[in-house]
Amino acid sequence: MAEIKLLGVSLSPFTHRVEWALKTKGVEYELIVEDTKNKSPLLLESNPIHKKIPVLIHNGKPICESMVIIEYIDETFEGPSILPKDPYERAIARFWAKFLDDKCLPTMGKALLGEGEEQEKAKEECVELLKILDNELKHKKFFGGDQIGFADIAANALAFWMGIIEEASGVIWVTSEKFPNYCAWRENYNNCSQVKEYLPSRDELFTHFQSRFHSAAAPK
Amino acid sequence: MANDEVILLDFWPSMFGMRLRIALAEKEVKYESKEEDLRNKSPLLLQMNPVHKKIPVLIHNGKPICESIIAVEYIDEVWKDKAPLLPTDPYERAQARFWADYIDKKFFDSGRKIWTTKGEEQEAAKKDFIECLKVLEGALGEKPFFGGDNLGFVDVALIGFYSWFFAYETYGNFSTEAECPKFVTWAKRCMQRDSVAKSLPDQHKVLEFVQTLRKKYGIE
């Protein structure tokens, strides 16, 4: 039987992406929980370049970078396809995944968790990015169309984690008045059957971020 | 494929545009190249890449593909009968994608900082850049190309930067040949291929271009 190990942290959206992909394909794996403040020799050996999680180790061979891992999982294992088959559709899925992962996520992270001028600037940039996402989602339920796809998984942190962080901060500015399609997508994503059962504990995440804000704000 | 219309929106010194030039040449795809003036972007560019408004953009039968690595994968998938760029094995493909991501995230940034900064920041950038070259040399190993015996995905992703090395070396005051001779051997080997030689601009022209940019940004 193939040996599959995943080095990661369940509360991290990057690890979650890979867990979702493995579970979607029905692949059994062993999650090795990493302490990111005290990285294991296995992690440092498996990802010497970035020294980051997640790392998938398949039959002793490491694969790094969550979206690269997902493409590997899609190509290696049977089960529902994560990327479409048509080359043009694949290019579109990869485009949105990259935009969401490289641009939207870090900017929103700064907008919610940053401070001072950097936070203000990030918030302004975020509004523009959300307008783009809102427009893209005008005529479809998910970035992948009717079903969750590659780009939706790249946006997992935006859908689940960022909403929780916002609530924990006590300042909600991503509203359905301003971004109706984006908020509808977020709602659909968090509640759809392919994702819901694999999401980490909302309460655990909320508590973690709430203590970070030192805020007594109750969830709305 | 005989009635394909392929257009490339490009800008001559762009190492990202070079990727597509090389990929299309390797696959012997006929295409029309449209040179963009980035200070005055064409309506076509703004229409085809509304999210980023950047080159290169590949337009295949009227449909745009943006982001150079994504476009190279698309080219490889569509024109699959000639000069395959990605390997067939999923693990090897994951490695190739990993290195393409590394080039875009780490290598590009450190190179850019060499000519856009001064003093301590520039010294740090130079150190990072040489470190990146050494990492890439390690990934190359004893193979003639990153793709093995033939030019592959990572070679296509990386070689365009070589046309900028003269500029980096001039402003950074170092010699790649002295620091990383193996890298230079690889680059010269790539340059022997027609597809590469015809796709890269003259390094002196790139230096002149960087000089004008430095004046424009007030770096001098």
Interface membership of B139 toward A (CB under 8 Å): no
Interface membership of A198 toward B (CB under 8 Å): no
- On the question of pLDDT at A141 being above 90, the answer is yes
Domain assignment present for B85: no
User: What pLDDT does B2 receive?
Assistant: 60
* Interatomic CA distance for residues A205 and A217, integer angstroms: 15
Domain assignment present for B26: yes
Interface membership of A33 toward B (CB under 8 Å): no
Domain ranges of chain A: 4-76, 87-217
Domain A87-217, second-level architecture? Up-down Bundle (1.20)
Interface membership of A61 toward B (CB under 8 Å): yes
Domain A4-76, second-level architecture? 3-Layer(aba) Sandwich (3.40)
C-alpha distance from residue A91 to each of A10, B75, B153, B186 (Å): 29, 10, 16, 30
CATH number at residue B61: 3.40.30.10
Please tell me which of the candidates A65, A91, A98 has its beta carbon nearest to residue B98.
A65
Per-residue confidence in pLDDT tens, chain B, 220 aa: 567 999 999 999 999 999 999 999 999 999 999 999 999 999 999 999 999 999 999 999 999 999 999 999 999 999 999 999 999 999 999 999 999 999 999 999 999 999 999 999 999 999 999 999 999 999 999 999 999 999 999 999 999 999 999 999 999 999 999 999 999 999 999 999 999 999 999 999 999 999 999 999 888 7
Residue A85 corresponds to which tokens in the numbers above? Answer: 């088959």
- On the question of pLDDT at A1 being above 70, the answer is no
Q: Count how many domains chain B has.
A: 2
- On the question of pLDDT at A57 being above 80, the answer is yes
What digits encode the pLDDT tens for the residues B24-57? 999 999 999 999 999 999 999 999 999 999 999 9
User: pLDDT category, A219, cuts 50, 70, 90?
Assistant: low
Q: Name the domain boundary from B56, B78, B100.
A: B78
Residue type, B43: P
Tallying the residues shown for chain B, one arrives at 220
Closest residue in chain B to residue A103, using alpha carbons only: B52
Does the beta-carbon distance from A94 to B102 stay under 8 Å?
no
- The ipTM is 0.96
Interface membership of B63 toward A (CB under 8 Å): yes
How confident is the prediction for chain A on average, in pLDDT?
93
Gap from B135 CA to chain A (nearest CA, Å): 8
Which residue did the predictor score with more confidence, B140 or A171? Answer: B140
Burial class (CB in 10 A: 0-12, 13-18, 19+), B199: buried
Q: Which residues of chain A neighbour B70 with C-beta distances below 8 Å?
A: 91, 94-95, 98
Please tell me which of the candidates A65, A95, A132 has its beta carbon nearest to residue B70.
A95
Interface membership of B110 toward A (CB under 8 Å): no
* Interatomic CA distance for residues B175 and B126, integer angstroms: 11
Q: Is there a single domain that holds both residue B117 and residue B139? A: yes
What digits encode the pLDDT tens for the residues A11-26? 899 999 999 999 999 9
